[in-house]
Structure 1
Amino acid sequence: MLKPVRIALDAMGGDVGPQAIIPGAAHALQRLRDVEFLFFGDRAQIEPLMRDYPALAAVSSLHHTDVTVRMDDRPSQALRSGRKVSSMWQAIETVKRGEADVALSAGNTGALMAMAKVCLRMLPGIDRPAIAGIWPTLRGRSIVLDIGATIGADANHLVDLAIMGAAMAHIVLKIDQPTVGLLNVGVEEIKGLEDVKSASRLLRQLMLPSLTYHGFVEGDDIGRGTVDVVVTEGFTGNIALKTAEGTAKQVGQYIREEMRRSLLTRIGYLFARHAFDALKQKLDPRRVNGGVFLGLDGIVIKSHGSSDAIGTANAIEMGYAMARHALLNTIRESLELSQGARAAVAASQETADMETVPTKATGT
């Protein structure tokens, strides 16, 4: 019998706190039988909700905390006031102590990242973390990273992102050898920033067995699903994410306005409402939920702040899959393999450079 996956939840995070977290965990439990939950937060708010879900209460423990990280707290402020004592910190700390396999919060993203970095530290060989998100596409789903953790990236960091994103795609999307593309201003090899071009050359030279490097992709390739993993640095990735979310809301508003324009369009909506509902489910960021903090020595999931119970359940299930299928071990093995390949590439380049150095002619 498999050992249950233990998921620690910051019950106070997000726009509505326990009102989304508790029902979300109960919903996830209907699909995940070998799971246990550790809830951190205000007992007075959590216990009344738990009474409505006896099956959830049977596989859960509640840990009272008096301190909640607010959505508008700065990361430094959250660390000062919430370290050791807040529901967010204590959920993360259970992962560090091995008491939980996953920590999940819908709270303040910057505070969650800061606390996770301080508490869990980074994986060996990784200097900076990334946030990876699931992106709905015409082909199904893709993974995009970094969507906001780290601004700027050199070639080696972009390669690290490719490796970690491919590992996540292997486990979450169940793809044996995911295709990876670097987000760029064009698909031609001569275009883009030098760090991006260097990362492209390095990925081609490394020929890593854990992924298939596709090359450069452009912004419209994300929604098309041209590749399974789209890699970029956090500044560009976050803009792409917010642009997509805004566009989805804009299109939804256009549709609602047109459906109310006349009696005929209202009747048409009645016949097509199931298709519109399906479209809403695919594009709603509260349902396509769960940003994964990659690069940490532990699994931390950032749920959308306005997620409902279904969105929370989706984030829980993603964390469950990562823990059950040993995401961190997959990342560690891929990184170790890449280090050897990178050393070989560097040695080969050094040799080539030495051979091209001109020698002085000597006279007699």
Structure 2
Amino acid sequence: MPNSHRPHEPGPALPRGAVLAGLGAAGLGLAAAALPSPAADAAPPARGLPVLRPEDDWAAVLARTLRVQLAPEARYVLEAPVRLPTGTLIEGNGAVVAASSTAHGLFEVDGASDVKLRGLRLHGEPGYAPEAGTPPPLDVPFDAAHTALRARRARNLRVLDCDLLGWRGAGIAATGDPADDYFSYGVQVHGCRFEACCIGLSAADRCEYSLLTTSVFTACRLAVWNSSGNWTLSGNVIVGCHGAYYSIGATSPFGERASDSWGHGAVTGCTMNHSDGETPRRWTRHLELEIGGTLRDPGPGVMIEGVLPPTFSANTLWYTDVTARDLPASVWYLTGCALSDLRLTQDGGAPVRLLGHQSNAGDLHAPVLVGDVADALAP
């Protein structure tokens, strides 16, 4: 008779005693060792790591063991940021880690290496519960202290499959130092969700040679600030954020250096839509950020100012303006992009050229070109 169970579905479980009785004395010891104990049945499913419970002291637990998991679907509330030492691994199992107030963040990585966070839901608003149906607030003033993860001079920091919701500073803010071997910082942010953050991700002050990939940003005041050199952004979706991507050669909300190896890197295969409006939730107030010692709003969409521009290819932009100002380059090419219902402005510095672009049909949807901007393939 064919097996009625599908290959990936186990059959009915036999009682532990019945299994052992059927094996006889010869197999008893081996079978007893192979069968799970009641304690193993109750353990969370993250490779047998020790469990850090909501009532535990994080610093004390991490002093005993650097590799931990959180209880699945549990809620943790931190009264102050936790400093993560070199070698920390936190498997979140979908647990929520929330700040007790908007005066502080959750985690700090200061000069540490090989820190990995995976599968955590990091909530900035005290008492916020997605199941209640009330999203985190927008239009709140910027506060750098209220940042989920603050990394300084971190090497091989990895943030994977995490949600960062409702942060009045940044979801993740990373800075480096030219005194380090910044060529090997290698920060990696993959598969994360940023929602209702003043800044989703900020990279500044020589935090170079790093990756932001396959992440989603919604309803942020600014999705990405990147004045650090040599970041690669690929496969990200940015929608309904007032600022999609700023790369500006100046001090910034998290960056202290007034001169640096600004910009360059690559932005490829990303979608940046609706910075100019039409989404149900978007920021309309407190749009100013302190840039170069002055509070100002660089504007909606993509702003590249005073830096070597990134390689910009295969991106999709609808209703998201692009401004290139005072770029110290020979030319800036936007290659193989969809550019529809937007304004593309060149204001001093390098000329801007479109190399193979498309838009919605009709003149009303074609990009409006301002300044020294031209289609390189036009007859």
TM-score by length of 1: 0.25
Structure with more strand by fraction: 2
Structure number with greater CO (CA < 8 Å, separation at least 6) is 1
TM-score by length of 2: 0.25
Higher Rg of the two aligned structures: 2
